[in-house]
Structures are given as structure tokens and as C-alpha cells.
Amino acid sequence: MIGAFRAKRRGKVAEQTRVVGIDLGTTNSLIAFMQGDTPTVIPGEDGSPIVPSVVAFDQDTTSGFSVGNAARNVLLTNSANAVYSVKRLMGRDLTDVESELKLFPFQLAEGLQPNEVLKLNVGGLTLTPPEISAYILLQLKRNAERFFGHEITKAVITVPAYFNDAQRQATKDAGRIAGLDVLRLVNEPTAAALAYGLDKQKDGIIAVYDFGGGTFDISILKLHEGIFEVIATGGDTHLGGDDIDNLLTAVALDDIKGDLNLDVTTNPEIIQQLRKAVIEAKIALSANDTARITLQIPGTRGTTNAGAPDLSPLEIGDGITPKSAGTLTYAREITREQFNQLIAPVIARTAAPVQQALKDAQLSPEQIDEVVMVGGSTRIPAVRTLVTQLFDLESRNKKLHTELNPDEVVALGAAVQAQILSGTENAATNDLLLLDVTPLSLGIEALGGVVAKIIQRNSTIPASATEHFTTGVDGQTNVAIHVLQGERELAKDCRSLARFDLKNIPPMVAGLPRIEVKFLIDANGILHVSAREQRSGQTAEVEVKPTYGLTDEQVETMILDSFDNAEEDITARQVIEATNEANTILEAVAKGEKSPAWQQLTSNEHAEIKVAVDHLKAAIKGSDYKIIRQSIEQLDKKTRRFAEIMMDTAVTGALGGKTMSAASEGIDAGLNAPTNAPHAFAKADVDDGTPQNLIQIDKANPDPHGESTED
């Protein structure tokens, strides 16, 4: 009896600690767990471990929706009720996907605004991409619950390494909607390396090339004694097998229109049947030299370009042939050579992120020990040839690692990470540690529009960094904190993530407040920012939830632009910083002229200071930071005795009849005291003290209520 009770209790503990790993893919999704020491994929309702990432809504079904192969069938017959490849829409807005909507049967909700999350009309419902993804996760959750016989509430979900904050938040939202506590978001290439490392148990430098249905990732990891350290990552969140499918579909549509003068783009069902045919041809060309694309076009006899009925039989490869009255058959044979030429521009887009990742890791291709292939698109021979060349494998007698199923490897790695997070004992994972990285630098805008980077690109996460700032205006009581993402030196060239305000700072002389800004990136890659004025203890914080709409092309552009414009950016930054310092000194001198110390200077000293001030004012009107610096040095030399007299006067006045503590406070309040804070904030505009999106005052546009000119 006691033994039975203990066994039952152990079962309850297992249920409570069970964590599954999920690969939420563009084309297919999988769910896996650790079965003993081995990660294992859980089969779906039809016995297949792979669940197509297609969702259909049908009120005739018990649940009102279907996911997987059943939904795929609905897509072919009633496409208005089905959605596929929704991962490509996660965390994006209308402008990001407008160009490819013509190949998707998606009806967008009316009235969408820029930077607003997409909403789709499907099956009589209006849903966001996270809500649609939640149906896929719910189906995977049900598969696992049927397999285990108990409820599943905790999961690790994989995401492309180059997913930005909005896309990661959208993925976490989908998990919550599906009733899952998402313990961790794991980068897909890193998950694949976990599965690979668990199998191989060897040290070395591993490159994971992940080319899936909708995304491409490259990660370079160092594996040593069970520690997986990501040392560089890159990719494109809008590049994958879907692009190849869309390219083949577009070619076939042109054929149909050119050969038969027939436009079928207005028929969603025919588009989906054609898409299915080109995918089957694409898959066949991975094993065969030729493949055939065929499509039945019902309801028309068709015409020639001249307008006459076209009933003559055509050879395969020529385009359209009549099959029977009222039905036409489009047939085209495509060779692997033709296919390779057609898709070359698509797969070539993966080369630049690979080369950039190697550069970031400070490695040459020859220093990569192993290259792991992940994602269904890596089955294409031309892709494997390209990767072999990129990493110079043939000359080193090395081969790509393709022995693991590319469709399952990410889910298997997610199961490994899930086991680690479950806290239960497992000999296979006890000594494993995962160290991931952030793909872009993060910082804040400082006075003059320069960027103070706080966390650098490719920093290991979780990551935390702190830097101190100060105010730029006397008596400033509020500070506008502008959080930025990107590699450029100026705020206008980086992406704005969030704005918040540190309010109710006691009024002090400019430069005296000590504002501590702390950045924390959690294990999911989500950013938290806090600010604290150390003298008063005033605090403010924000969890950064950026607007939707950053494409990976924009992310890549950010990095490339940071190199292309590095010299120009640094020069602009040096001018701004020198100008800021010059303005601070000029204000101090102007303030000092009203003090008794000014009267103790000779007329020659007055004249020399005035000349130096005029030179500095003239210098800051130009764009040569060296001249500004030289003018600052000249003014500094001319005002040294003036500064000494002011200091003596302030100290003498502060010490009179006071304790040392009180005297110190008096000196601080009476001087334009410099601090070691490296950056200064501009003043924030506050109307009534209520939280709002505040605008940083720009000297060129002093109206704080005007529109911001920042990007």
C-alpha cells in the first residue's frame, strides 16, 4: 500500500514537472520530450510526428477548428477558411507583408494602421497571428496530453535566432493563449546544437545552418565539456522554403497566363492546388533530375493568345493541355538544372549572414569543425553545395552533418532544454549548459542625439549592464529615456524600442544628479530597462514591448550600415559630444560672470576670456570637432585662474559656521559640479505629471509639444 502510494506520488510529481519542447515552425510544427536519455518526438492524431502548420476553421467539426493535415485539405478546397505560414506574420505589420499577400489567400481586417499588429479575417473570425499560432500550439498540447494521459502546462518553444523583441513577444503571447507557461524561448539553431551535442558529446566549433520554411538562421557555437556557448548569430526572418514555393508558383502563373491568356490568381483554391503541386515538384527534385508540375483547372476551356479556343494537345513542358470538356490540365516538366538557376538568388541570400556571423565570431571558415544542417530546405542539393563551399569543407575532407532528421532536430533540442529547465534528474542533461546571445546592440539616446550603447551585439544572455548618466540642464526634474536598438552612432539611425520617463528628480545643478540606467535581457531575449536617480532614490522601469513591424532585412541593414557609415557616424558623434561639452563650459562661464569672482579678474583677463568665448562660439557653428576641442582647451587655459577664485570663494562661504557635512552640500549646490557620468540627458517635457509618451526637447525645435523628428 505504501509502495503504491509512493508510486502514485512520483507520478504526480512527474506530471507537475513535465516540460515539453516545441518547434513552432513555418511549414511544420512538432512537440518532443525526453524519454529517458533520448529526446523523442510525440506523434499526432494520425500517427505522424509532423503537424503541418495549417489552421482551418469549420463550424461542422466538434472543436470548430482543425490543425495539420485535416486543415491542409480544407486549404485546398475552401482556402478562405484556412491559414498557413502564419509564423511569417508574427510581430509584423502591413507594410512588411504587402508584397507577398497576392500569393496568400488571406483577407486582412479593415482599418489596419501602420505599426499595428496584423489581423486576418478567416473562417468568419478576425484573428491576430499569435491567436492563430495558439491553435497550432493547442493541437500540439492535446497530442502530448493524449500521449501522457495528463495535462501539459509548461513548455519551451523555439524561435529563429534573429527574431526581434516583437516577434518573441508574439510567440510568448501565442503560448499563453494556448494555456502554456512558456518557460523559455530558445533559438532554433541553438536547440539543434543541443540535440547534436547530446548525440555526439564532443568539443569543437559548430556552425548551425538552419534553412526552414519561412526563416533562415546561422549560429556559431563553441561546445566544451557540456557548455554550449553561442558566439555569433545571424539570419533572415523572412527567407525560407516559402520563397522558393512562391517563386515557382509565380513562374507557373505566368505560364498559364501567357500560354492560355487565363488569369487564375483570382481563384484561391486553384492557387493553393498549384502551390501544392510546386511543393511536390520541389521535393522530388531533391532526389530526381526532373519533376513534373501538374494542375487541373476546372470550369473553363481556355483560349489562345489570339483569343481562339485552344483544344490542340500540347506536349508535357509546353504548358496547357485540355483534359476534358470544361477542364484543362497545366503540365510542365522542370529539370534540376532549371530549378537551381531559378532559386539561385534565393539561396544566395543566405551567404551574407553566414559570412557576417564568421566575422562577428572572429573565425575563418577553416576554423569551423562541424556544420549541422537544419530545416527542410537544407535537403535541396544546391543548398548543400553552397554551404559546402561557404565553409570550405571539401578541401578539408569534411562533410555536412545531415544524419539527423532536419525536420525533427529543432524539436529534439527543445526537449533537451525542457528537461534542463524541469529540474528533474537526468544523466544526459545534468551537465549541459546553454549560453545564447543577443543579435543587436542596445542602448539609450544621450544629449545631442548620440547613442550610448549599454549592451553590445552578440553579448551572452541572460545579460545585465549598468551605466551612469546625468542631466544637461540646471533644475531639471524629469528625464526622458529613449531605448534604442542598432549599431549606428546616432539615435536617428537606430530603431526606437521604447520611451519612458524618470520623474520628480530634486532640482539640482546640471551634471550633479547621478542617474543609474540598468539594462537586463532575460533568458527569452526580452529587454527590461530601469532608471534610478541615486541621490533621491527616484526610480522608473519598463519591460520593452516594441511596436510590430521590424523586418529582418531592416536588422541586416542596421548591421551593414553600421560598417558602411562607421567613419561618418563616429565623426558626427565626435562633433555632437564636443559641442555638448562646449555648451556646458560656455554656460558655466556665463554664470560665473555674474559672481563676485569675476570682479577679481583684471581687464586683460576679461578680454582674453571674451576672445576665447567668441572663438568657441564660432567653432561650434562649424562641423570640425578638432577645432571645437582646440577652442575648448584655449578657453580652459584662459579661465583657470577664474575657476580657482570661484572655488576659493565657494569653499570659504560654505565652511563659515557649518559642519563638514552641511558644507559639502552647500558646495555641491553652489557649483556647476562636474561628475564622472559620461553622458547627459536632455530635458523632458511634462504637462501634468501623468505618464505619457514625452518628446525630448530639440534645440532646433524648442516647442516641446511639436512632433518629434526622431525615427
- Which pLDDT value is given to residue 431? 53
- Which pLDDT value is given to residue 684? 37
Across the range 253-263, mean pLDDT stands at: 83
Across the range 510-515, mean pLDDT stands at: 81
- Which pLDDT value is given to residue 538? 81
Across the range 237-256, mean pLDDT stands at: 89
Categorize the per-residue pLDDT at 426 as very low, low, confident or very high, splitting at 50, 70 and 90.
Answer: low
Percent of the chain whose predicted confidence (pLDDT) is above 90: 22
- Which pLDDT value is given to residue 686? 36
Q: Where does 567-677 sit in CATH, by number? A: 1.20.1270.10
Name which of 67-81, 91-105, 287-301 the model is least confident about. 91-105
* Predicted confidence (pLDDT) per residue in 323-370, tens digit: 444 577 888 899 999 999 999 999 999 999 999 999 989 999 999 998
Categorize the per-residue pLDDT at 31 as very low, low, confident or very high, splitting at 50, 70 and 90.
Answer: very high
- Which pLDDT value is given to residue 679? 44
Contact call for residues 653 and 670 (beta carbons, < 8 A): yes
Kindly give, in sequence order, each residue whose CB lies less than 8 Å from that of residue 334, ignoring residues fewer than 6 positions away.
Answer: 281, 285, 290, 291, 292, 293
- Which pLDDT value is given to residue 699? 30
In the chain, CATH 1.20.1270.10 covers 567-677
- Which pLDDT value is given to residue 701? 34
Q: Looking at the annotation, which residues are catalytic?
A: 23, 87, 188, 210
What's the DSSP call for residue 676? S
Q: Is the pLDDT of residue 171 over 70?
A: yes
- Which pLDDT value is given to residue 427? 56
540 has which bridge partners? Answer: 531
Amino acid found at 307:
G
- Which pLDDT value is given to residue 318? 41
CA 367 to chain CA mean position, Å: 28
What's the DSSP call for residue 112? P
Q: Is the pLDDT of residue 1 over 70?
A: no
346-349: long-range pairs with CB below 8 Å, 24+: 346/239, 346/243, 346/244, 346/247, 347/211, 347/380, 347/382, 347/383, 347/386, 348/386, 349/216, 349/236, 349/239
Closest CA to 570 of 492, 489, 628, 627: 489
Categorize the per-residue pLDDT at 552 as very low, low, confident or very high, splitting at 50, 70 and 90.
Answer: very low
Across the range 603-617, mean pLDDT stands at: 87
Closest CA to 380 of 281, 296, 453: 281
Name which of 218-227, 268-277, 329-338, 433-442 the model is least confident about. 433-442
- CA–CA distance from 123 to each of 65, 66, 86, 131, 193 (Å)? 9, 12, 15, 14, 39
pTM: predicted TM-score of the whole model, two decimal places = 0.59
What's the DSSP call for residue 535? T
* Mean pLDDT computed over every residue of the chain: 76
Backbone φ/ψ region at 667: left (φ over 0), alpha (ψ -120 to 50), beta: alpha
Q: How far apart are CA 478 and CA 572, in angstroms?
A: 27
- Which pLDDT value is given to residue 164? 75
Across the range 533-542, mean pLDDT stands at: 79
Contact call for residues 545 and 167 (beta carbons, < 8 A): no
- Which pLDDT value is given to residue 169? 83
* Predicted confidence (pLDDT) per residue in 388-412, tens digit: 999 999 999 999 988 878 889 999 9
Decide which of 3.40.50.720, 2.60.40.10, 3.90.640.10, 3.40.109.10 is the CATH code for 241-343.
Answer: 3.90.640.10
Contact call for residues 365 and 371 (beta carbons, < 8 A): no
Q: Is the pLDDT of residue 83 over 80?
A: yes
Decide which of 3.30.300.30, 3.30.1370.110, 3.30.420.40, 3.40.50.1100 is the CATH code for 15-239+352-434.
Answer: 3.30.420.40
- Across the beta sheet with 319-324, the strand order is 290-298, 327-335, 319-324
SS3 per residue for 622-673? CCCHHHHHHHHHHHHHHCHHHHHHHHHHHHHHHHCCCCHHHHHHHHHHHCCC
Q: Is the pLDDT of residue 666 over 70?
A: no
Contact call for residues 205 and 363 (beta carbons, < 8 A): yes
Categorize the per-residue pLDDT at 322 as very low, low, confident or very high, splitting at 50, 70 and 90.
Answer: very low
Rg (CA), the chain: 32
* Predicted confidence (pLDDT) per residue in 182-206, tens digit: 988 988 888 888 887 654 556 789 8
Percent of the chain whose predicted confidence (pLDDT) is above 70: 75
- Which pLDDT value is given to residue 651? 56
Q: How far apart are CA 319 and CA 323, in angstroms?
A: 13
Q: CATH classification of 442-564 is 3.30.1360.120, yes or no?
A: no
Which segment, 92-101, 141-150, 567-576, is predicted with the most confidence on average? 141-150
- Which pLDDT value is given to residue 689? 40
In the chain, CATH 2.60.34.10 covers 442-564
Q: Is the pLDDT of residue 12 over 80?
A: no
Q: Is the pLDDT of residue 432 over 60?
A: no
- Which pLDDT value is given to residue 486? 78
Categorize the per-residue pLDDT at 569 as very low, low, confident or very high, splitting at 50, 70 and 90.
Answer: low
The more confidently predicted of residues 164 and 49 is: 49
- Which pLDDT value is given to residue 428? 57
